[in-house]
Structure 1
Amino acid sequence: MTTLPNQTGAPAAPAVDCAARVRVHPWAATSLGSAEAWDPVVRATVDVLLASPVPMALAYGDDHVLVYNDAYAELLGDRHPAALGRPGAEVFGEQWQAPGVGGVIEDVYRTGQPFLEAETQVAVARGSAGQVEQASFTRGHSVVRDAHGAVVGVLTVAAETTQVTRRLQSLGDLTAKLAAALTIDDVARVVLAYAMTSFDVDHCVFAVDDGPAFRYVRRIRGEMMDEADERLPPLWKRIGNDPASPLVAAAQTGRPLFQPDGSPLAKIATDRHERRIRALAAMPLRTASLVGALTMGYRTAHTWLPAERALLYAAAELVAQAAERARRFEAQHGTAQLLQRSMLPEHLPELERFRIAARYDVGVDGNAAGGDFYDAFELTDGRLAIVLGDVAGHDVRAAAVMGQVRAALRALALTDPAPGTVLTGLDRLVTSLGAESRNEEIFVTVVYGVLDLADGTLTVASAGHPPPVVRRPGTDGGPATAELVGVPPGAPLGLGGQWHTASLRLEPGDSILLFSDGVVERRHRPLSEGLADLVAAAAAANSGDPRNLCSLATAAVAGRTDDDVAVLAVERAVALSRSATMLVPAEPTGPSRVRQWMSARLREWAVPEPVIGAAILCTSELTTNALLHAGTPAQVHIDLSAERLLVSVADTGTRGSVTRARTDTLSSRGRGLGLIEELTDAWGTDPTVRGSTVWFEMLIPPR
């Protein structure tokens, strides 16, 4: 319970000079008596409290008449100025009798023993608008004795600890957020946000070693940041081993630096923001495998108090440990993903009448390799083989088995592509692998089909794998339909089963979607519900474009999956499409080159002007993102069919990137997700072997 009043939300009285009020108050009518006759000690106490910037109050005499300063008046709120010169019991009414309020003053007055209260919350009106907020205070109460040594009052000093309390609370938040940070990029985002909000600094830099030098990311006060910027990879820059840099000095020596005033960044300043910094703290980040630093700066002089330094030490230790964990994760994740994706096709066939797309998303444990795989390749007789399979497990062994199965399937299909023959050969391989490793738990499922590119006939067989989904556009303007292909379910590979085929014909506009069980399986939900959700999502798609279907499939079933997700889609085009590709250099002029090239190409193809304008704007934003955040050239590919325009922007940057199960958080810098979502009919991101691809689709209105 506080000895200061808890406010009810009433606006604070306008700021008043308490010293002036004390001079004119009729003290003769109170137990203090006429001001001219005050005891010298009492007068000195009043002079001290009136001059103090911290809240102070004197409760004088047996009736505890109040004398206080301006800072204390803010705590009194609407009780000021009437409280001046009145007994405490009258000022606070019933609250005076509450435990820990008037009783504390009376006990100190009666016993003469000082008392230090624990931290308590007080509602305080702040600013000219009188906005009430909860503030933390620690109060000390001590007796005031007159010149003869008699106790005549109690002096209360209230020290506000709101900032310290909030910083300690934010340190707890920092711990929780760093625990969820997987990559160095994640750590950087968390640390920069923490420094800017908790310490209200003007300048913050987070740096880690990068070979013989360092790479760093910076945040400054006044930057225009939106939700999209926070989710994009930070903009890293490099700095050499310059001993004049406080950041480098702290990182290399392991000793912190605290400069309260001066020009700490003058010798290494790269812009006006750094030249304006006067106070700087540089904290080393050092672990067994990481060297770095965290700096915070102010544009005004700033005294780094012991409590603040202790908080910085604690924060730096947390950040260093999180950065080391993130570095280990990135190394392990990079190895696993390189193994995983090196076994998947880097490029799918480009055909005149058929379009193909695939997508692979790692499961919740992005640090492990998995056994899902897909493939599409042309056969010696001109037909197309398509396959999607799943080797049980989430480790390097599962990925190794997957690679063997995929390689064997290609070899078998190029010899005799009949589905029954291929699955029989794979069955023998899996049986042999199990016997060789003395492990009978190798579990492999596959759906495999052969597509005749001349008439669209697809012959497909399944070895324990979920059946594909076929999507057909509506007739006479009706809605599209989708259904599971009625392929007979065969036994998984390695069990010596027999497999039967099903045949269907893909008409122009039809699409076939192959998928792994991670797409439709969810805990505590029947598999039939997941399959129904996937079929419904395919039917509701704006078009049968395979890239769009792959994106929709990975998000068709609600809830998170613990499994990897692989999808492969093939569409039989209504008509031949036109396409073009441009390699954009990682230069400032890159986006403008893309705009000029794309404008000329789309107008040459007679694309409607509204589509051209929106497509160029979205492409420019995505290209800028790729150049800024991947740091590599970008490849822009446009594909125009009768019904839609598809644009993709690919980069080859892998630095600090982690592809999770849901990779729909990329957005265009500055304008956010709203731009892409508002101007396009569908969009998504696809991980590739050496980078990522962001794409969007715009439907062409009928002429």
Structure 2
Amino acid sequence: MPGTVGRVPTPPAPVSGAPAASGAAAAVLGHDWAGTPLGPWRSWDPAVRAAAELILASPVPMALALGEGFLLLYNDGYAELLGDKHPEALGRPAAEVFPEIWRTPGVGDAIAHTYRSGEPFLEKESTFPLHRRSGAVEHAVFTRGYSPVRDGAGRTVGVLAVAAETSQVTQQLQSLGDFAAALAGTLTLDDVARVALRYAITSFDADRVAFAVDEGGGGWRTVRRVRGELTDEADERLPPLWRRTPPDWADPLVVAARSGLPHVTDDGQPLRETAVDRHDQKIRALTAVPLRAAVVRGALAVGYQIPHAWSAAERALLAASAELIGQAAERARRFETQHGTAQLLQRSMLPEHLPDVPRLRIAARYDPGVDGNAAGGDFYDAFLLPDGGLGVVLGDVAGHDVQAAARMGQVRAALRALALSDPGPDTVLAGLDRLVTSLGAEAGTHELFVTVVFGVIDADRHRLTLASAGHPAPLIRRGTPEGRVLAEYLDVPGGAPLGLGCRPTTTSVRFDPGDTLLLFSDGVVERRQQGLAAGLETLLDAVAGAGSGDPRALCSVATAAVGGATEDDVAVLAVEHALRPSRSASMEVPAEPTAPSRVRRWMTGQLTQWRVPESIMGAAVLCTSELTTNALLHAGTAARVEIDLSPERLLVSVADSGTRGTVTRAQTDTLSSRGRGLGLIEELTDAWGTDPTVRGSTVWFEILIPPG
């Protein structure tokens, strides 16, 4: 019969190893081959039947294209690739089954060439559409091979097609480049850990990944991520949950980091001795590889809940990933050392505590510019004067180096000394002008550029007296009798900067209860490719639209008002003349597991005594408990909780002394691995933020109290 496959006059004896009647094999055996040019299954040439049975028993995706029409026969692996084209593709010409790609170079022409010439064909990588059973069409990467299939007489009667989908390997190699780019943008070990864990659990489709780095003086810091954790933007804005372990800890992650050798378990209980919870206990396969860094020691581990034999390609990818992480970790360690030194110098020259004055609430904030390694010259201060007034100052010494920070310290100390002798703002700035001129002459430079604004607040007389030396005009937020809020820049003559012949003049304005003064550095409003006037207008609108005049909230609003990165330092100081005195209380929180519950009991009792409405009390206690938990987890040190209640708002702050990094504003959701996380604070409060301090950071929130 024309077109039959090695047809013989009498049926051959049954071939041993016939395919089991299930899946694609059952479909092949049950197919009506008699209705095709190939003829009934039992009449096929034994060699062809043996090839077919071998294909049907193989787990590798394979297909036979038989006869002149290239009629298809395939196994379960190939049926998966066909998706919704199976089982209708059985016994049909390949050109009809794959009309969308048959004429693509390397497909139909390659099969025909192999059939007619008997020469095999191999294409290591090509992209074709893949029809999933869900109906979706994806473009996948395949390695394909075509080989001639011969009958017992040696004639070519078909083509064997072997297809291996290599999309995952290809995607992993592509993601390695993205991973390298992401690591290039990291500054701290916290950043490196976040990027590494996110990449590893996605790229290797793992159930658990972990990262370890040495502490420098002994011991290890480890952090992990498990499949199914609800992670979102909040995970990026909190320091990772590091766990500190002893130098000789037996976990494979630390063993690999300590020895510099990979630790591989294909099937077993690799974390049996060191498991901290059920996620660790379920891991059966784990590979830990050292970072291969010159200075920093560490390791990356990838684990699965089922047995997993690592292929050579996966091992190579994991080793390359660990090498990239090692390089990033070394850069981060250098940055943290330089950054910590510079910022400690900077913050040590700023007041650690602002004065506590009846009817005046004070807050300040300092943020370094883009180059976090450098100390800057921005400074602020607030101090009590002998006559009972409050002196407030904010200035900027040009430069971003240790010399600028040292000069800033000199200027700040001299200003205090001058103000304590004669608090007149014009007199103080005139004396500072002489000091800066002297410092410039001593240094042999005329480029010592210092701007400053100094004011004296007399709360009893409701007056504010100011003088400026080349500094941006202060801003004041006022409430009107009608309940409206206005914000305006004060008309304070700027004059020349200090050291350039400054002749300051004073300006006196009302400072009534309900008003808030805001002093700020030019880093708050100046941005590249944006005029200064636009920045000032944006800041004015933001302050006028703030939910309250609370100084801590206004500092947060001011620093975030103008979008875009700034290369300059940012300093703000805010003082509110309160309508009525507030009530305050504080609690020292020990670093122990029972601390959050103790805080909840203390705060509930305090707010009940103050007769705070239950709805506000419940939200405040819940949010304070979350912040206390975060402080203890991330800092690992004791914390301090402070509450301040005024008729307008409840302000709560939680300060630690060891947090790395800062918390930045972003939308958040519930985090399973961190309780409810900062999503609650975002949802239940009217404002919140974080303030870096000399020895840690303070996270705070504000809840407005409705009138009446």
TM range (shorter): over 0.9
Residue deviations 1:620-652 (CA, integer Å, cap 9, x gap): 111111111111111111111122211111111
| Counterpart in the other structure of 1:594 | 599
| Counterpart in the other structure of 1:701 | 706
Superposition deviation, residue 473 in structure 1: 0.8
Q: Structure 1's 533 and 117: CA in aligned 2 closer, same or farther, altered over 3 A?
A: same
Superposition deviation, residue 445 in structure 1: 0.3
| Counterpart in the other structure of 1:315 | 321
Runs of 5+ unmatched residues, structure 2: 1-20
Q: Does 1:59 align with 2:62?
A: no
Q: Does 1:466 align with 2:459?
A: no
Per mean C-alpha deviation after superposition, the further-off stretch among 365-374 and 162-171 is 162-171
Q: Does 1:614 align with 2:619?
A: yes
Asked if 2 retains the 8 angstrom alpha-carbon contact of 1:16 and 1:70, the reply is no
SS at match of 2:634: helix
Q: Structure 1's 79 and 563: CA in aligned 2 closer, same or farther, altered over 3 A?
A: same
| Counterpart in the other structure of 1:246 | 252
Residue deviations 1:585-619 (CA, integer Å, cap 9, x gap): 11222111112111111121122222212211111
Distance 2:681 2:576 in 1: 24
Asked if 2 retains the 8 angstrom alpha-carbon contact of 1:17 and 1:70, the reply is yes
Distance 2:100 2:364 in 1: 73
TM-score by length of 1: 0.93
| Counterpart in the other structure of 2:434 | 428
| Counterpart in the other structure of 1:658 | 661
Q: Does 1:527 align with 2:532?
A: yes
Residue deviations 1:41-95 (CA, integer Å, cap 9, x gap): 2111111111122221111222222222222233334443333223333444575
Letter in 2 for 1:506: F
2:297 to 275, 291, 294: 291
1:370 to 360, 372, 376: 376
| Aligned counterparts, 1:205-284, within 5 A | 205-210=210-215, 211-242=217-248, 244-284=250-290
Q: Structure 1's 97 and 665: CA in aligned 2 closer, same or farther, altered over 3 A?
A: closer
Q: Structure 1's 24 and 557: CA in aligned 2 closer, same or farther, altered over 3 A?
A: closer
Q: Structure 1's 94 and 244: CA in aligned 2 closer, same or farther, altered over 3 A?
A: closer
Q: Structure 1's 271 and 556: CA in aligned 2 closer, same or farther, altered over 3 A?
A: closer
| Identity, % of aligned positions | 67
| Counterpart in the other structure of 1:481 | 486
Distance 1:526 1:622 in 2: 39
Superposition deviation, residue 665 in structure 1: 8.2
Letter in 2 for 1:440: H
Distance 2:602 2:100 in 1: 79
1:146 to 146, 151, 171: 151
SS at match of 1:355: strand
| Aligned counterparts, 1:438-457, within 5 A | 438-457=444-463
Asked if 2 retains the 8 angstrom alpha-carbon contact of 1:382 and 1:453, the reply is no
Q: Does 1:97 align with 2:99?
A: no
2:351 to 333, 345, 351: 345
SS at match of 2:625: helix
Asked if 2 retains the 8 angstrom alpha-carbon contact of 1:637 and 1:648, the reply is yes
Asked if 1 retains the 8 angstrom alpha-carbon contact of 2:292 and 2:322, the reply is no
| Aligned counterparts, 1:488-503, within 5 A | 488-503=493-508
Residue deviations 1:432-483 (CA, integer Å, cap 9, x gap): 2222222222111000112223213221111000010111112133x11111
Asked if 2 retains the 8 angstrom alpha-carbon contact of 1:549 and 1:569, the reply is yes
1:548 to 540, 546, 553: 553
Q: Does 1:386 align with 2:389?
A: no
| Counterpart in the other structure of 1:7 | none
Residue deviations 1:501-530 (CA, integer Å, cap 9, x gap): 100121111111100001111222221221
| Counterpart in the other structure of 1:20 | 26
Asked if 2 retains the 8 angstrom alpha-carbon contact of 1:225 and 1:670, the reply is no
Letter in 2 for 1:658: G
SS at match of 2:676: coil
Asked if 2 retains the 8 angstrom alpha-carbon contact of 1:119 and 1:139, the reply is yes
Q: Structure 1's 583 and 218: CA in aligned 2 closer, same or farther, altered over 3 A?
A: same
Q: Does 1:185 align with 2:228?
A: no
Q: Structure 1's 80 and 682: CA in aligned 2 closer, same or farther, altered over 3 A?
A: closer
Distance 2:85 2:615 in 1: 64
| Counterpart in the other structure of 1:8 | none
| Aligned counterparts, 1:94-173, within 5 A | 95-126=101-132, 129-173=134-178
Letter in 2 for 1:285: L
Asked if 1 retains the 8 angstrom alpha-carbon contact of 2:84 and 2:131, the reply is no
Distance 1:92 1:221 in 2: 37
| Counterpart in the other structure of 1:577 | 582
Q: Structure 1's 615 and 149: CA in aligned 2 closer, same or farther, altered over 3 A?
A: same
Residue deviations 1:181-207 (CA, integer Å, cap 9, x gap): 211111111111222212122222211
Distance 2:249 2:363 in 1: 51
Per mean C-alpha deviation after superposition, the further-off stretch among 80-89 and 507-516 is 80-89
Asked if 1 retains the 8 angstrom alpha-carbon contact of 2:376 and 2:569, the reply is yes
Q: Does 1:538 align with 2:543?
A: yes
2:517 to 487, 512, 516: 512
Q: Structure 1's 471 and 113: CA in aligned 2 closer, same or farther, altered over 3 A?
A: same
Runs of 5+ unmatched residues, structure 1: 1-14
Residue deviations 1:657-684 (CA, integer Å, cap 9, x gap): 2349x66689994434442233222221
Residue deviations 1:318-352 (CA, integer Å, cap 9, x gap): 11111111111111110110011000000011001
Distance 1:659 1:26 in 2: 70
Asked if 2 retains the 8 angstrom alpha-carbon contact of 1:633 and 1:651, the reply is yes
Distance 2:277 2:661 in 1: 32
| Counterpart in the other structure of 2:5 | none
Superposition deviation, residue 131 in structure 1: 4.5
SS at match of 2:415: helix
Distance 2:230 2:163 in 1: 38
Asked if 1 retains the 8 angstrom alpha-carbon contact of 2:624 and 2:654, the reply is yes
Q: Structure 1's 559 and 96: CA in aligned 2 closer, same or farther, altered over 3 A?
A: closer
| Counterpart in the other structure of 1:3 | none
Asked if 2 retains the 8 angstrom alpha-carbon contact of 1:684 and 1:695, the reply is yes
Q: Structure 1's 431 and 300: CA in aligned 2 closer, same or farther, altered over 3 A?
A: same
Asked if 1 retains the 8 angstrom alpha-carbon contact of 2:233 and 2:668, the reply is no
SS at match of 1:555: helix
Distance 1:79 1:537 in 2: 60
Residue deviations 1:277-324 (CA, integer Å, cap 9, x gap): 222211011322211111122222111111111111100101111111
Distance 1:410 1:122 in 2: 74
Distance 1:644 1:83 in 2: 71
Distance 1:104 1:513 in 2: 75
Superposition deviation, residue 549 in structure 1: 1.2
Q: Does 1:692 align with 2:697?
A: yes
2:340 to 302, 313, 334: 334
Residue deviations 1:407-451 (CA, integer Å, cap 9, x gap): 111111112222222112211222222222222221110001122
SS at match of 2:114: helix
| Counterpart in the other structure of 1:415 | 421
| Counterpart in the other structure of 2:646 | 641
Residue deviations 1:99-138 (CA, integer Å, cap 9, x gap): 33211111111222211124223333446x4544333211
1:355 to 328, 352, 361: 361
Asked if 2 retains the 8 angstrom alpha-carbon contact of 1:664 and 1:685, the reply is no
Letter in 2 for 1:598: M
CA RMSD of aligned residues (A): 2.2
